[in-house]
Chain A
Amino acid sequence: MAVSTGSNEMEVNLTPLLDLVLQLIMFFLACLNFAADQVSSNVLLPLSVSATEIQPKTEQEYIMINIELVRKDRLAPNGETIRTPDGKPVRDPIEPRTFKFRILGGEDITFMDRPDQKSIGLGRAMNRMKLLAENLKLRIAARDKVNVTTIKELKVPVIVRADQETEYVMIYDLIQQCKNAGFQRIELRAYSKNN
């Protein structure tokens, strides 16, 4: 109830309200899970001088396999993060070494670097790729009105982002599974190095 007495008018101060609204917007933005973005920023890729620039959005669809070795920042005795000359924190693998696979749409597959766990983790990742391939084939079959068994090759590229300390056998087995499942295009990601 605004009461006006003569020329003295009451004004509603909108500024705190605006602040609150913006704070809320920030909160939701910060909590937003970028589900559409398949890239895991925690993966420390190897360096490559021959990797070519990624063409922006040439593909409508792609499947990203992130193979992350879980790492933590290296700390100096005074508790500060040790950084490389270019300002990036030095990150060491945690012990016991733990791998995390992140493949489109599925839950993270986390396992420790022990032979028994590794084979289970790799097996789950392979099943995921097989499932993705089957789903894609069904979708293509429905779209093109063809029998699903006639689709042998999938044009959707599979992009592999693997940690630089990953053992080759993991990457190789996964790629082999992708090929067997019908994915014909495999791309490898690396940090570009200019010299």
Chain B
Amino acid sequence: MRRRRRRVSHDSASGGEFSSTSIFVTPMLDMAFQLLAFFVFTYNPTALEGQFPISLAQGETAGEKENKTDDKVAPDQPTELKSTLFIEARSREKGRLGSLRVGTTVIEPDASETDYSTGLIKSLGKAMLELKKSNPSEDRITIKGTPTLRWDELMKVIDTARRHIHPVTKERRDLFPRISLGAVDQ
């Protein structure tokens, strides 16, 4: 305010016909550049994350029997599960997916895939569709893994069990969206 007044009086003293007021843009510009630099340097685009709930398979937690008799049990608590509705994923070297079993059926890798694990996942997709067809009302499946199995390999199995994506139309269909995790020895 003081500056403005001073500038006005200076202009009129120098005989200017119009008294002009000026705003100092330099500090503002500095600030803007600083902020810009700050955001440029801190910009770190992270990949979009998603999440899904899971539970543990029956008999895997302490105090489970109490839960089963409790009326207020949460909807995602383990309920009676068909013994055939489970996938067993075993690892091979370096934690890669080695073999898959759905119920009693051993999954053979799809011959069209060169990568063994990818072939297994592809065959599992087909097996899951069949399983859903024979159990249309079920929405829960147990996935058991061996201790050394890599997390991303198991995630592929979980993905295949939860949702089917049509290879051509990309249409998504929920298969068994509720996953229970279990463990199996090596």
Contacts and interface: CB of A to CB of B under 8 A. Distances in A.
Interface of A: 7, 9, 11, 14-15, 18-19, 22-23, 26, 29-30, 41, 45-54, 152-153, 159, 161-169, 171-172, 175-176, 179-180, 184-192, 195
Interface residues of B, number: 54
Nearest to B27: A18
B50 A168 contact: no
A164 B96 CA distance: 12
Nearest to B10: A7
A191 B145 contact: no
A152 B60 contact: no
Tell me whether chain A's interface is mostly helix, strand or loop, or mixed: mixed
B61 A15 contact: no
Contact of B50 (A7, A53, A163, A165): A53
A54 B38 CA distance: 27
B151 A171 contact: yes
A50 B159 contact: yes
B106 to A, nearest CB: 20
Contacts of B154: 168
A180 B48 CA distance: 31
28 contacts: A9-B6, A14-B27, A18-B27, A18-B30, A26-B38, A29-B38, A46-B155, A47-B155, A48-B52, A54-B50, A162-B151, A163-B151, A167-B150, A168-B146, A168-B147, A168-B149, A169-B183, A172-B181, A179-B56, A180-B61, A186-B53, A187-B51, A188-B51, A189-B49, A191-B47, A191-B50, A195-B165, A195-B170
A46 B151 CA distance: 7
B48 A191 contact: yes
Contacts of B112: none
B54 A187 contact: yes
Nearest to B143: A168
A169 B49 contact: no
Interface in B1-40: 3, 6, 10, 13, 26-27, 30-31, 34, 37-38
